[in-house]
Amino acid sequence: MNIKPLPLAGAHLVETTPRGDHRGHFARLFCAREFAQAGLPTEVVQANHSLTVPAGAVRGLHFQRPPMAEVKMVRCVRGAVFDVLVDIRVGSPTYLRWHGETLSADNMRLMVVPEGFAHGFQALEPESEILYLVSQYYSPELEGGLRHDDPTLGIDWPLPIADVSLKDAAHPLVGEGFVGIDLEVS
């Protein structure tokens, strides 16, 4: 397991080291000891799964406010996605900056999305599936979101946008009702 910091403070990319033979392969997706050694959270209270059927569809950008702000550990288990996180921590030197990585069943990467970040993805292949390990319980009253097409963010999605839910399309733009998360930034 190789844990690499990303350009946005607190965000990490975990590359697995599969071991294989003629039958296939085996790889660790999560190791509490190695995550703790890297200073990452180790408590998982929920595991979520999503299937996105059309390539080009976007889900997100979602987050939860304190006290239920969550860390997400995201892995694509079928297909491929362009996984995006946005720093929404007020006072952060990278406030409103985004970073994206391709996660796929083939590359077996895991994105660690810290508290105070919005998260979303675009399916790059049909029938893409994502597995999320989450550090907090879902709390609908503390849920928030940003628009995938917010010009302030300027996210460069790799495919034309094929589909977005009505809920995600209704999220506010930065400057039009969006309020960041007030967390201590280290």
Query: Is residue 7 in a domain?
Result: yes
What was the pLDDT predicted at 27? 85
What percent of the chain clears pLDDT 90, i.e. is strictly above it?
Answer: 81
Considering the domain boundaries, does residue 175 fall inside one? no
- Please say whether the beta carbons of 71 and 41 come within 8 A: yes
> Does some domain include residue 186?
no
pTM, entire model = 0.93
Label residue 158 left, alpha or beta by phi (over 0 means left) and psi (-120 to 50 means alpha): alpha
Number of domains in the chain: 1
In a domain, 184, yes or no: no
Strand-pairing partners, residue 143, are 64
Residue 180 belongs to a domain: no
Give a yes or no: residue 145 inside a domain: yes
Residue 41 lies inside a defined structural domain of this protein: yes
**CATH code for the domain in which residue 155 is found:** 2.60.120.10
Distances (CA, A) of 36 to 3, 176, 186: 11, 38, 17
Whether 132 is a known active-site residue: answer: yes
Catalytic residue among 12, 99, 119, 132: 132
Q: Residue 184: its pLDDT value, please?
A: 66
Q: State the pLDDT at residue 67.
A: 93
Beta bridge partners, 131, equal: 49, 75
Which residue range is the domain that position 119 belongs to? 2-16+29-169
Question: In this structure, which amino acid lies at residue 13?
Answer: L
What residue ranges of the chain have pLDDT lower than 50? none
Which entry of 62, 99, 119, 171 is annotated as an active-site residue? 62
Residue 24 lies in a domain: no
